[in-house]
Structure 1
Amino acid sequence: MTVQINAKPLADFDRPIDMLVDCHRRIEHFLGVIVRVLERYASQPLDSEARQALAAALQYFKISAPKHTADEEQSLFPRMQSVGAITPKTNELLEQLRQDHQTADELQGRIDRILEQWLASDDSLPADSLATLRADLAELKNHYAAHIHMEEEQIFPSAAKALSENQLREMGTEMRSRRGLGNDRHGK
């Protein structure tokens, strides 16, 4: 169960829409890591490899995932709303996506607390924590699947058409800065 936290991204900040898609693949990857660890270790203590995998997933969701949300809510959505080419339906979708981010944050917070408890223990998860983790993880996976589908099939193509090269460049600069990368063209 090898986890590469600093794996090279599929895109760079010169293509910010592609970077957002790359972030989605990382979200899916780290959710999958949690699911695989849970399936394999639900009724037993974690070994060092499982601990490392869960710690990497927790780190991703605590540090990188909020930056992705900010990329959308602070850089992408306002630019889309500033151009006259988007429809009222698109504006409604953007508001729904903002609400989705809140829901995902709440679910992820509950999952993180249980995972931290598990990492701090030398035992298997208690049955009630295990049931809660399974339910919240299934809900989060379904939530992200619908959210990502909406963004990748509707919002990102609309943004690619509606935003100018300058707006996309500014967006990439903001995303890079959000990660403290300065002029570095790559990030996660």
Structure 2
Amino acid sequence: MRNPFASDAVGFDTPIAMLIACHDRVRHYAGLLPKLAGHVAIHGADAEAARAALAILRYFDVAVPLHHQDEDDDVFPLLRERGDAALRARVDEIAAEHDALGLQWQTLRPALQALAVGLAATLDAGVVQAFAQDYPAHAAREERELYPHATRLIGADEMAGIGRTMAARRTHKD
């Protein structure tokens, strides 16, 4: 999904736009995984593979857990509280995907960690493809099925508070 809020000016004062911008980066880094696997199959654990593996690791180890916390702690509870039964069920289902995606990520991490320091490793093609498809699909679901409700059910003052919490969360993690 094209980010309708895409701009260099997206910040924590627009939390939903910030979450979508994170999804854009999820799509980017998830999309790098199959490219990295192909590169490693031909060139091995060279410097380019190490740089790519390190970038992917940083994103999914640092930014993604914060993003999930933004959703799980700040946005999803308000959707559950204010939504109807169908929306609550959808929130629960989509939130549960965070754990499944986390397990997929943990399967990929050891090979990426090895590659990041220049050690030979093989990225399992099936696991890479699943992750590269599942994560963007999850992001698209959130954008399609949850975020429109967030913009409707969460008031401007609450959104501003969510944005401040998101920013503070990152300040404490740096």
Do they superpose with TM above 0.5? yes
**Runs of 4 or more consecutive aligned structure 1 residues displaced over 6 Å after TM superposition:** none
1:79-131 CA distances to partner (integer Å, 9 max, x unpaired)? 22232xx22111011111121000000000110112113334544x3xxx44x
The percent identity for this pair of structures is 24
Q: Which has the higher helix share?
A: 2
Q: Please tell me whether the aligned partners of residues 49 and 116 of structure 2 are also in contact (alpha carbons under 8 angstroms).
A: no
**1:94 pairs with 2:91:** yes
Change (3 A) 1:94 1:10: farther
Residue type of the partner of 1:173? R
1:41-70 CA distances to partner (integer Å, 9 max, x unpaired)? 224322212211210110111111100000
Q: Which residue among 154, 157, 164 is the counterpart of 1:166?
A: 157
Q: Please tell me whether the aligned partners of residues 11 and 19 of structure 1 are also in contact (alpha carbons under 8 angstroms).
A: yes
Aligned to 2:114: 117
TM-score, normalised relative to structure 1: 0.81
How far did residue 10 of structure 1 move?
A: 5.7
* RMSD, matched Cα: 1.8
Question: How many equivalent residue pairs?
Answer: 166
Q: Please tell me whether the aligned partners of residues 50 and 118 of structure 2 are also in contact (alpha carbons under 8 angstroms).
A: no
Structure 1: runs of 5+ lacking an equivalent: 1-7, 182-188
